[in-house]
Structure 1
Amino acid sequence: MYIDITKGKIQEDLPHEDIVYHEKTVEAQIKESVAENPLLKKISMGKKIIAVELDPPMDTDIDFFVKSAIKLKEHGVDTITIADCPVASARVDSSLLACKLKREFDITVIPHMTCRDRNINATKALLLGLNIEGVNNVLVVTGDPIPTAQRDEVKAMFSFNSAVLANYITNLNETTFSTPFNICAALNVNARNFKHQLDYAKKKIESGVSMFLTQPVLTKQAVDNLILARKELKCRILGGIIPIVSYKNACFMNNEISGISISEEIIESYRDISKEEASELAVRISVQFAKEIEPFVDGYYIMTPFKRIDIVTKIIGTLLRKG
């Protein structure tokens, strides 16, 4: 007897040739199911890619998340990036959502993978699962620390950092995975000591990172830093774009969110305007910066604020028309 793994049933004894035939059929099916990476293919053709970040829900209601991902794909988005428990707050697992979008809707995905909360064994197990599901892009980040108020209940675990994780995935690419991962990482173009950021980025590249997604570009300094990164880093870069939805939103991000810097001119432009005017301004400013950084990036990384898919789709529509 033998087990026909294409059907999961026990079959009667068959000649050796038939057993080999079944094994080859399965192998062929696996190879056929592994498509080449559409993001890298598009970039190699000299075209810009558009990635949009969606935050997973904090409960089991994923209706908005899934519908948003489908809508974004219909509007020409190349990939959805999925945050991994941002600000160390428990949300639906980014990798599980990535597998769902890939399997059920054929959406190209980039799940974020933090180094917080997992040891190396758990990380390898997760990567193996992603690879089997045909998810072959991942964004490695060290991860936000646990908020002070939760540290009595939740203990952070940092066994490694993003550079170490990238190197680990690179080794698995060479020894284990049927399809290698495209390893992405973060680049903070708003860092005060940007030279240090560049040095660390080069270390990440040596570890196997081939694509950087930057923090939002909303100042002249961020544009200058991005231009410098283009000159210094031998890798692909997606320029970060985040629409600002209100004056309060601008002040909060500028003062409270690490890695984001907004020019005072932009902040003041939101003062005392209506919600509709703020939405229109968000589109104009986002497109303005996207066009300014266009010669220096391989695409755009758009972060969705407060589930405002309407603003994001308008930005994408404008970019695609101009492109």
Structure 2
Amino acid sequence: MGLLERLKQDVLVGDGAMGTLLYERGIEQQCFEEVNLSHPEEIISIHTEYLLAGADVIQTNTYAANRLKLSKYGLEDKTAEINRRAVALAKQAAENRAFVVGTVGGIRRFQMEESTINEIEEALTEQIIVLIDEGVDGLLFETFYDLEEALLVTSIAKKHSSLPVIMNISLGDISVMSGGIHAASAFDQLTEAGADIVGLNCRMGPAHMLRSFEEIPIPTDQFLAVYPNASLPDYRDGRFFYSSNPDYFATMTEKFIDQGVRLIGGCCGTTPEHIKAIANAARTRVPVYEKKLKVAIRQPLASDRPARKDEKLSEIVKKRSSIIVELDPPKKLNVSKFMQGAKALKDAGIDALTLADNSLASPRVDNLALGTMVKEQIGARPLVHLTCRDRNLIGLQSHLMGLHTLGLHDVLTITGDPTKIGDFPGASSVYDLASYQLISMIKQLNEGLSFSGKELGEKADFTVGAAFNPNVKYIDKAVKRLEKKIESGADYFMSQPVYDINQLKAIYDETKHLDQPIYIGIMPIVSSRNAEFLHNEVPGIKLTSGIREVMAKHEGDSESSKQEGLAIAKELVDAACEWFNGIYLITPFMHYDLTVTLSEYIKERTNVIKHSN
């Protein structure tokens, strides 16, 4: 009798964790799937313990045995061997006493190095075919946070075999996947794609998963599964620990069965003792076919939040000439000169004052604090940079929630310079997200959903700028990156400084098809040394030989150097204004007098053109 036939009449018991159990028992290799080759006896021993505990279904030790994940350990060429050995070990332990399912883990999370969907398809197809060829009784897909990836892998499995497919997704919050997709909706889409068993696994313990199942109907032609974590993890002395609570699992097994679940196992932190408790409880029960569905009462998103009074920068620049000026937060605690500069720029009529986020990886006064001061004390509009380098997902969302609470709605997303170039070269660079992923997450906040998919009670109202580096050999490739950011939700772009008039025209020609406006970066040069540093040492900035030669003639005379740099900047402004409404002035070394002068110059120039027309 096959797996699906058994589920029609019985509640079946899955096995528990493999990786955390190996870890607990002192197997500390970085890649637990490699243990199939180096310590096969350990794998057989764990399978056997789960079988003796009462498991009807055991998984191959292949969760991360795909080419993409194995490549992190230099094991990509052993992909097929690791998967084949895993199936052989599970079958050897099972001795036809239990079903052996080939396990495939999800790849997509939120990380910056996230693979493309095509790369994922190739890697998972390769793994799935090996597992099928080795004669597994079914395929178990687990820990899929991304619905697109889950649907893809389900279709791959159905394309290559008629084996039963178990698809376990992982939730960002109770009942919802990332993006706010309700678990019931995800299950419907997955069963339509061909999944025979749909369920939940990982991240949550039994209590939160039970609350999710209370909102999920019992399917008529498919089955439900659940593989909860043992508990929330604890961290002590450099190691993770999970609570040992087998009796609790027995109680929760009864409740899962009442919700219509047919296959019950365990995920992170669960042990043979947990599976024994599940089995003892499940053996006394028969499947449940009907239940009263709990309808979650979700509060509507607040609609009485005051509307933004300011027009969006992305709309302003479509109508008229618009100026954004960057003034770097200071590295020291005294902010008086910064505030003086901010006021002078406000008086010069700029549209927004943009504040970098620890530029060049050096700590500065927090731009959220200064942005709030600029708004409240000066009345200027702050545009806050947000780097992916310094904060993990938790910190990024918290920071954005703080910006929203303070009414700071304009942000610029950037990847951020690596820490090795800054004051603390040994500091960690987080990079949980790439900038385009952060854009997408911010747009999700605008829908009232957290990064995990949890409802936030009201919608944010961020306008999101994105960085553009045109100082590359092939500008068409840089434009492709812009298009990717537009797909993620970017509202407008701010470019790195440009120092070549011909390049300005080239940028216009390559980007004129885009609906999203571009603020062209102009940064005055203050000395020959400054010019050489920018050209030779700052990533993403190149100066023409003519500009460097002109600045070299003024070497040693700081005042004439500044005036020459200002004249060059005005020429660039004149050229940029022929093709772009937006100018992004970058203040060098707190010389805000230069950007004040340029702001006034742009205003005067714009008025002259307006009146002449």
Q: Give TM-score scaled by structure 1 length.
A: 0.85
Q: Aligned pair in 2 of structure 1 residues 255, 103: CA closer, same or farther (>3 Å)? A: same
Code of the residue aligned with 2:348 in structure 1: it is H
Distance in 2 of aligned mates of 1:148 and 1:78: 31
Q: Aligned pair in 2 of structure 1 residues 194, 243: CA closer, same or farther (>3 Å)? A: same
The reply to whether residue 87 of structure 1 matches residue 360 of structure 2 is yes
Q: Which runs of 5+ in 2 are unaligned?
A: 1-301, 450-457, 607-613
Distance in 1 of aligned mates of 2:598 and 2:572: 11
Q: 5 Å matches for 1:86-105?
A: 86-105=359-378
1:63 to 336, 340, 344: 336
The reply to whether residue 282 of structure 1 matches residue 556 of structure 2 is no
2:519 to 227, 238, 251: 238
1:42 alignment partner in structure 2: 316
Q: 5 Å matches for 1:87-166?
A: 87-147=360-420, 153-166=426-439
1:196 alignment partner in structure 2: 477
Distance in 1 of aligned mates of 2:543 and 2:311: 34
Contact 2:312 2:463 in 1 (8 A): no
How far did residue 184 of structure 1 move?
Answer: 0.4
Contact 1:190 1:215 in 2 (8 A): yes
Distance in 1 of aligned mates of 2:563 and 2:310: 38
Contact 2:436 2:484 in 1 (8 A): yes
More divergent stretch after superposition (120-129 vs 100-109): 100-109
1:186 to 464, 467, 471: 467
Distance in 2 of aligned mates of 1:281 and 1:231: 31
Contact 1:230 1:296 in 2 (8 A): no
Distance in 1 of aligned mates of 2:568 and 2:417: 28
CA deviations over 1:272-298 (Å, ceiling 9, x no partner) = 323222222222211111111213223
More divergent stretch after superposition (47-56 vs 167-176): 167-176
2:547 to 266, 271, 281: 266
1:4 alignment partner in structure 2: none
Q: Aligned pair in 2 of structure 1 residues 151, 105: CA closer, same or farther (>3 Å)? A: closer
More divergent stretch after superposition (119-128 vs 147-156): 147-156
2:345 alignment partner in structure 1: 72
Q: Aligned pair in 2 of structure 1 residues 247, 322: CA closer, same or farther (>3 Å)? A: same
Q: Secondary structure at the match of 1:234?
A: coil
Code of the residue aligned with 1:43 in structure 2: it is V
Contact 2:353 2:380 in 1 (8 A): yes
Contact 2:385 2:412 in 1 (8 A): yes
The reply to whether residue 311 of structure 1 matches residue 594 of structure 2 is yes
1:250 to 516, 522, 531: 531
| RMSD of equivalent CA atoms | 2.1
Q: Which has the higher contact order (CA 8 A, sep 6+)?
A: 1
Contact 1:131 1:178 in 2 (8 A): no
Contact 1:37 1:136 in 2 (8 A): no
Contact 1:53 1:82 in 2 (8 A): yes
CA deviations over 1:163-213 (Å, ceiling 9, x no partner) = 000000111112255452110011111112322211111000000101100
Distance in 2 of aligned mates of 1:148 and 1:310: 28
Contact 2:566 2:594 in 1 (8 A): yes
1:322 alignment partner in structure 2: 605
| Corresponding residue pairs, total | 295
Q: Secondary structure at the match of 1:302?
A: strand
Distance in 1 of aligned mates of 2:538 and 2:475: 18
2:495 alignment partner in structure 1: 214
Q: Aligned pair in 2 of structure 1 residues 322, 65: CA closer, same or farther (>3 Å)? A: same
Contact 2:466 2:490 in 1 (8 A): yes
Contact 2:354 2:383 in 1 (8 A): yes
Q: Name which one, 1 or 2, has greater alpha-carbon Rg.
A: 2
How far did residue 150 of structure 1 move?
Answer: 6.4
Distance in 2 of aligned mates of 1:167 and 1:202: 13
Distance in 2 of aligned mates of 1:170 and 1:307: 33
Distance in 2 of aligned mates of 1:224 and 1:300: 15
Contact 1:109 1:137 in 2 (8 A): yes
More divergent stretch after superposition (243-252 vs 292-301): 292-301
2:187 alignment partner in structure 1: none
User: How many percent identity over aligned positions?
Assistant: 30
More divergent stretch after superposition (74-83 vs 173-182): 173-182
1:17 alignment partner in structure 2: none
Distance in 2 of aligned mates of 1:152 and 1:187: 25
Q: Secondary structure at the match of 1:270?
A: helix
Distance in 1 of aligned mates of 2:546 and 2:532: 12
Q: Which runs of 5+ in 1 are unaligned?
A: 1-25
Distance in 2 of aligned mates of 1:269 and 1:150: 32
Code of the residue aligned with 1:93 in structure 2: it is D
Contact 1:115 1:160 in 2 (8 A): yes
Moved over 3 A (4+): 148-153, 176-179
Q: Aligned pair in 2 of structure 1 residues 86, 113: CA closer, same or farther (>3 Å)? A: same
Contact 1:243 1:311 in 2 (8 A): yes
Contact 1:117 1:158 in 2 (8 A): yes
Distance in 2 of aligned mates of 1:117 and 1:244: 29
CA deviations over 1:204-263 (Å, ceiling 9, x no partner) = 000010110011110245313321343242201101000011111111111111111110
Q: Give TM-score scaled by structure 2 length.
A: 0.46
